[in-house]
Amino acid sequence: MSFERGKSMLFKKAVKEFIFADERPFDSCHASTLVVLPNGDVLAAWFGGTKEGANDVAIWCSKRTNGSWSYPVKVSDRDGIPHWNPVLFRRDDGRIILYYKEGYKISEWYTMVTYSDDDGNTWSKPVPLVEGDIGGRGPVKNKPIVLKSGVVLAPASIEGKYWDAFVDISYDMGETWTKSEMVPIVHEEAEHGEENSNMRRGIIQPTLWESADNNVHMLLRSDMGYIFRSDSSDGGKTWSPAYATSLPNNNSCIDLVKLKNGTLLLVYNPVSNTISPRKGPRTPLVLSASRDNGVTWEDCIVLDTGPGQFSYPAIVAVDNDVYITYTWHRERIVFWKIEIEEEI
């Protein structure tokens, strides 16, 4: 591991480990998510199968107890239907909600949801999040957040000819959902009205934080070479036009968490794809910090680097402990626990 001790913070201790070994019940895995339980256990989920999009791809789960991970268990698997992008969310009443996508085409995804009331040991029968939805309501990759008002915001996006982002809003802790307005963005028109391999599609997979009452912000994956940002002053109902930040983006997922002191921690690949909208290298993967609400950023830790890919991170925090998972070469899921020592 590599620590770059800058102006933002110092780190007391870090643990890095694989969630499972080479002996795994799937060939490929991707898109992990995690929650921390009140007793300190960590629950993680991801999708795994022959390869992304294959008919045997299911949702898998593992729990870390006393420093050891349980063997992966299949949580959801409808025969012949690819599963995608699980997202874990724990409510204050202890119920854990697992959202995930099903479908053969991303543009035709529908969101399923299952519940656990015993810390992930057993799960309810999956049901659609929003009946009749095509395209994918609810969280698309990153975790929901709970505003100071108690409203839940789920970062969402759709992928068709163009890519667009929004949030799903719940006033009853996830029982029902209301779709926000789309994040405004000017889409590049394809030549002759048809899409092509060089067309810039837009923004997807937001990650959210609240800076003050009803002031909510998102950073977004894009295929335009940079991480984009949008801001809301009405609790996520409407959003400012998306604008490019100075942070590079390789057309791959990012995730962020806000600490209790207001510091933002972002996990991303600090490389661009400005030459082509196709995906750039998914290495290295770094943890960066901002103490001015995302205006400026400082790299703190290189989580992984080298040939291959380290991608699709998830990050959560409990007090001064930060927890991260991400894809390692599409073969394993890496877990980090980082204890923040002090602010300077």
Average pLDDT for runs of 10 along the chain of length 344: 50 93 94 98 98 97 98 94 98 97 95 98 96 93 98 97 96 96 86 57 97 97 95 98 97 97 96 77 96 95 96 96 98 96 56
* 250 domain residue, yes or no: yes
Provide the number of structural domains found in the chain: 1
* 117 domain residue, yes or no: yes
| pLDDT for res 99 | 98
Task: Decide: pTM greater than 0.75.
Answer: yes
* 137 domain residue, yes or no: yes
* 14 domain residue, yes or no: yes
Write b or e for each residue in 262-279: b if 16 or more Cβ atoms lie within 10 A of its Cβ, otherwise e: ebbbbbbbbbbbeeebee
* 192 domain residue, yes or no: no
| pLDDT for res 197 | 57
3-state helix vs strand vs coil in the chain, percent to 5:
0, 50, 50
Q: Which two tokens stand for residue 47?
A: 């999708």
Q: How many helices (H) and strands (E) does the chain have?
A: 0, 26
**Cis check: omega of the bond before 72, within 30 degrees of 0:** no
* 53 domain residue, yes or no: yes
* Domain boundaries, position 114: 2-187+199-343
Please answer whether residues 267 and 324 qualify as being in contact, where contact means their C-beta atoms are separated by less than 8 angstroms: yes
* 127 domain residue, yes or no: yes
CB neighbour list of residue 324: distance below 8 Å, 6 or more residues apart: 267, 287, 303, 313, 314, 315, 334, 335, 336, 338
How far apart (Å, rounded) are the C-alpha atoms in residues 60 and 49? 10
| pLDDT for res 5 | 45
* 193 domain residue, yes or no: no
104: domain CATH number is 2.120.10.10
